Structure 1
Amino acid sequence: MKKIFYAVTITGALLITSCEKELDQTPISSATTETFYSIPNDFLQGVNSVYANLKTYPDRQLNLSETRSDNLYAVSDGGVRDWEGVNSFHKNLSANPYLEEAWATNYNGIYKANTVLGQIATNGTIITNATLRNRYEAETRFLRAFYYFDLVRWFGKVPLIDKVVSAKEALEIPRSPVADVYGLIISDLQFAIDNLTEVYTLPADKGRVTKNAAKGILALVHMTRSGPTYSIDGPGLGLNEWGKAYTLLNEVVVSNRYAFISSYPTVFSFTNENNSEVVFDVQYNTGSNPVVGATFPWVLVPDNWFTSLGKPVQGGLTIRPVATDLLNSYETADTRKAFSIQTGFVANGVAEPRSFFKKYVDLNRVPVSRFDWPINFIVLRYTDILLLKAECTLNGGGGNLATDVLIPVNQVRARAGLTVPLTSLTLAQLMEERRKEFAAEGSRWHDLVRSGLVITKIPAWITAEDVQRQMQPFVKDFVIYAIPQSQLDVKQGLYTQNVGYN
């Protein structure tokens, strides 16, 4: 899909809103829209432009999920950093740029999706191949659902906009109940499942969303909805949809489109992209002008590590240390620790004893431009499908402990060098297995919230880990984030701030 996201076309210019920090997204004029969507290829470019908003998704997961979780102890090291309040549960997060980006980028993607879907509805007959027309709609609806799911997990209630609206109309749209937003998400994903293929045959289509990717994300939606409510307007609705999720995940498994790779580092190798583990990923094009590669490899990596090795400065700035609790949780023989984590280094003759995540860094491929890393980000991989399915089983969603839980978990552990098989496993223990397997992949915070463990794990972790006494007490309101201040300022009274934040 390296040609899908970032081909420089007129579409990108037409579909980007004029204001990224406000909800009042000014639509392109109907005349311009109608003029542009005049041949079938215009729709392809329009769909591609919706994919483009995935570009910062990996960075967002590292900044808002990984950093929020007990995987990192990212308190002050002498300067005020944007991630500090995220990690330390500050109440005054409404102006945090990470939250601004999450809101603006997702809604920009939704706006572009609505534009494409509106044109398919009115001008779609230009695409005479009905199967292709349905595929374009399915891809676009998957992406709209994906962006809304991201918003719900961060903010809870959000404005539900399923068509292009004017600036004036947007100012009258309040935040919708989470259940209503999920309604659109599920409808969009089901349409994607019904109209997408399992595999693409043309090289130019490599990386496009597939039927199985839609099944995997819909399963995760059902699992997230089944999580506890915490008595807040968050992503969990307390529903018992584990069986629905199990069925979808099992369909992905029995499709035989994916395979378990025996070497953990090979899953993330720069020379092994689009491998048999990848169900859905964000793909990047490198060496282009303008530069449109990946930035996520250095997000959690301090700059002085790169410079100490004679590499160009990237953008990670200072260190976000891996939590001692996570470091100590790895068994001695676990090879994932050395691959994922750098345990100290020396820069300018000074030893840095703290550890950091280096999972996506290949020191032989550090680019001159920090915006041009040549590696894709795996959003959903086959191992995740297997372990999510195990989670459903442990929650009573189907299957049995031996086949659906112990076999895949022991397979994952054996790949990591842990040869003694487990003979029993609780949900809490499964989450610890996931913690080490998916470290630095942005899943930890979502796992804690979905499982209900966030209420006990985070307070206990803060007590044990916060040696600098920088972190605020955790309360259930912090399951979701603050609404960005820019959105509260768009129209007084349209939105109210999430409980627990200033």
Structure 2
Amino acid sequence: MKLSVTTTILTIAAALVSCSKSFIDLPPVSNQTTSTFFKTSADFQQGVNAIYDGLQSNRTYGKSSYYLMEIRSDNTDIFDRGANAGIASQIDLFTEITTNPFLTDVYAGSYVTISRANAVLDQVDGAAIPDNDKKQFKGEALFLRALVYFDLVRLYGKVPLVIKTETTSESLNDKRNEVTEVYARIEQDLQTAATLLPAAYTNGNDYGRATALAANGLLGKVLVTEKKWAAATTVLNKVLNNASLLPEYAALYTPANVVNAETLFAVRFKKGLSPSEGNTYFSDMVPVNFYFNGISYGGSNNNRPTKDLVKAYEAGDKRLAASLDTTSYANATTVQRGNYVKKYLDAPAATNDAGSSFPILRYADVLLLAAEALNEQGYSAGGPAFDYLNQVRRRADIGEKKAVDLPDQTSFRDAIFRERRVELAFENNRWFDLIRYQKGLTIMQAHLQQEYGLATPVLTTNRLLFAIPQSEIDIHNDPVNFPQNP
């Protein structure tokens, strides 16, 4: 997918993160950029590309998102907990303060992406462009905005629901909308996107863009999160049998195989370009001294797999070797012990310029969500929920589960919870699964004590949401409509 972005669009985004303005102050630089820039299909294509570019940012899926979604969980931790890594360590240890840069980055980066989507959506309906182009651009913008809001509402709870370009004065009157309002908009955007987006793209340059299948898959995930089990089943059935698992799990993560039958949507990167369209994964995740393909690299060893996660894989599970390793080479001959993520192992063209992509939604996730939704509506020994679960397990080369192994609804629910951890490790699902399964406080309390040996205070429900960045609270200065989380 070509992600060229015009200076005009990037300038709009730059204006949004000025330290003197709210992150949800979403106006473009001038009225001219919104009312005159979007004229042709090529203009809208560049505008839509800018939305995808927002997902690539280091403030979102380029880096910071996995600090809030994966490192927060019991899957991964921070290698260096010293002074230089204190802000990341706060996220890992549940000690973050309201000025923590990772909280600010994800929040601000998300609203930059939303602002770009709104800029397209404000103009596309009235544009004199072909109907097919109009439908695709609108569908993509709605899908991407919904994806970002889905992340925001799960991380921060009530957030401002901004669905049009705003002036500075308008943005200062924004409030934190109720969670139900945010979810309602997410559902509406995805339902509409699914009717507008194509089933597939015929132009190779468009491969990887959002499709109707991706929109329905993400909508199903949203509905499962809301515990709307029957509605989720109906939507997920539109995805089932219209995609497939790759025969080999490891093949999912090779940069050359980013477009495949299983990955419904991914944030794509490409190394070696100027300006860079790569990511930080290699530099951030590999060990401090790392010898790979005959070259010595230096890494940070962040997002480091925990000992508990390593033990979570069943004997013979092929996903373990594909996902992580417990040893590496410090040089051509020296073996060193230490866990690190292998899924995104792609030698960078330069520091922080690797080309591996980040999977947002895979067919395996859809299968497990479908199994979960069916089970929650009523346990059925040997029903389709077992088949969905076992499709994932067969690919991992581990034994199928039968009714004798999972004889009731509770045991099946627990099996899905365990399977999701190892199948989707390092894909930003674990923290959200801990929350929606209502296991976050118990598991994370034990994790902090057992994994780190910390005598921590008992975690409370206040820690299930991140704080709104303090700068936002200060700018709005409205405890009634824009309060801080407890």
Aligned counterpart in structure 2 of residue 393 of structure 1, from 334, 357, 374: 374
Bigger shift: 273-282 or 487-496? 487-496
CA distance in 2 between counterparts of 1:162 and 1:36 reads: 19
Computed over aligned residues only, the root mean square deviation of the Cα atoms, in angstroms, reads: 2.4
Alpha-carbon contact 2:119-2:165 (below 8 Å) kept: yes
| Residue equivalent to 2:10 | 13
CA distance in 2 between counterparts of 1:470 and 1:85 reads: 16
Counterpart of 1:356 in 2: which secondary structure? strand
CA distance in 2 between counterparts of 1:172 and 1:369 reads: 43
Counterpart of 1:218 in 2: which secondary structure? helix
| Residue equivalent to 2:72 | 68
- State how 1:413-432 maps to structure 2 within 5 Å: 413-419=393-399, 421-423=401-403, 424=406, 425-432=411-418
| Residue equivalent to 1:45 | 46
Alpha-carbon contact 1:280-1:380 (below 8 Å) kept: yes
Deviation at 1:210, TM superposition (A): 0.6
1:407 aligns to 2:412 (yes or no)? no
CA distance in 2 between counterparts of 1:320 and 1:207 reads: 26
1:209 aligns to 2:228 (yes or no)? no
Q: Deviations over 1:361-406 (max 9, x none)?
A: 14xxx1231332122221101111101111111211x794524332
Counterpart of 1:50 in 2: which secondary structure? helix
- State how 1:274-313 maps to structure 2 within 5 Å: 274-306=259-291, 310-313=295-298
1:95 aligns to 2:99 (yes or no)? yes
| 1:87 maps to amino acid | D
CA distance in 2 between counterparts of 1:170 and 1:404 reads: 48
Alpha-carbon contact 1:25-1:111 (below 8 Å) kept: yes
The 1:308/1:293 distance shift into structure 2, 3 A limit, reads closer
CA distance in 2 between counterparts of 1:456 and 1:222 reads: 25
| Residue equivalent to 2:237 | 250
Deviation at 1:80, TM superposition (A): 4.3
| 1:436 maps to amino acid | V
Deviation at 1:470, TM superposition (A): 6.7
| Residue equivalent to 1:104 | 108
1:151 aligns to 2:152 (yes or no)? yes
CA distance in 2 between counterparts of 1:29 and 1:428 reads: 53
| Residue equivalent to 2:248 | 263
**5+ residue gaps in structure 2?**
none
- State how 1:172-251 maps to structure 2 within 5 Å: 172-226=173-227, 241-251=228-238
The 1:307/1:417 distance shift into structure 2, 3 A limit, reads closer
Aligned counterpart in structure 2 of residue 357 of structure 1, from 332, 336, 341: 341
CA distance in 1 between counterparts of 2:134 and 2:349 reads: 41
Counterpart of 2:352 in 1: which secondary structure? coil
Alpha-carbon contact 1:74-1:320 (below 8 Å) kept: yes
The 1:68/1:309 distance shift into structure 2, 3 A limit, reads farther
**5+ residue gaps in structure 1?**
227-240
Counterpart of 2:325 in 1: which secondary structure? strand
CA distance in 2 between counterparts of 1:73 and 1:18 reads: 34
CA distance in 1 between counterparts of 2:363 and 2:206 reads: 20
Deviation at 1:278, TM superposition (A): 1.1
Alpha-carbon contact 1:213-1:279 (below 8 Å) kept: yes
| Residue equivalent to 1:485 | 470
The sequence identity of aligned pairs, in percent, is 34
CA distance in 1 between counterparts of 2:329 and 2:393 reads: 32
CA distance in 2 between counterparts of 1:244 and 1:225 reads: 10
1:450 aligns to 2:446 (yes or no)? no
The 1:338/1:164 distance shift into structure 2, 3 A limit, reads same
| 1:280 maps to amino acid | F
The 1:297/1:308 distance shift into structure 2, 3 A limit, reads closer
Deviation at 1:33, TM superposition (A): 2.7
| 1:480 maps to amino acid | L
| 1:51 maps to amino acid | Y
Alpha-carbon contact 1:343-1:353 (below 8 Å) kept: yes
| 2:307 maps to amino acid | T
| 2:373 maps to amino acid | C
| Residue equivalent to 2:143 | 142
Alpha-carbon contact 2:263-2:361 (below 8 Å) kept: yes
Task: Give the paired residue count.
Answer: 469
1:83 aligns to 2:88 (yes or no)? yes
Deviation at 1:27, TM superposition (A): 2.2
The 1:321/1:188 distance shift into structure 2, 3 A limit, reads closer
Counterpart of 1:390 in 2: which secondary structure? helix
Counterpart of 1:402 in 2: which secondary structure? coil
Deviation at 1:196, TM superposition (A): 1.2
Bigger shift: 242-251 or 284-293? 284-293
| 2:365 maps to amino acid | D
Deviation at 1:55, TM superposition (A): 0.5
CA distance in 1 between counterparts of 2:200 and 2:244 reads: 15
Bigger relative contact order (CA 8 A; separation at least 6): 1
Bigger shift: 479-488 or 331-340? 331-340
The 1:273/1:318 distance shift into structure 2, 3 A limit, reads closer
| 2:276 maps to amino acid | V
TM-score by length of 1: 0.87
The 1:379/1:355 distance shift into structure 2, 3 A limit, reads same
Counterpart of 2:355 in 1: which secondary structure? coil
TM-score by length of 2: 0.90
| Residue equivalent to 1:132 | 133
Counterpart of 2:239 in 1: which secondary structure? helix
4+ runs deviating over 6 angstroms: 348-351
Deviation at 1:338, TM superposition (A): 2.0
Deviation at 1:17, TM superposition (A): 3.7
| Residue equivalent to 2:118 | 114
Deviation at 1:274, TM superposition (A): 0.4
Counterpart of 1:379 in 2: which secondary structure? strand
| 1:286 maps to amino acid | K
Deviation at 1:194, TM superposition (A): 1.4
Counterpart of 2:296 in 1: which secondary structure? coil
| Residue equivalent to 2:169 | 168
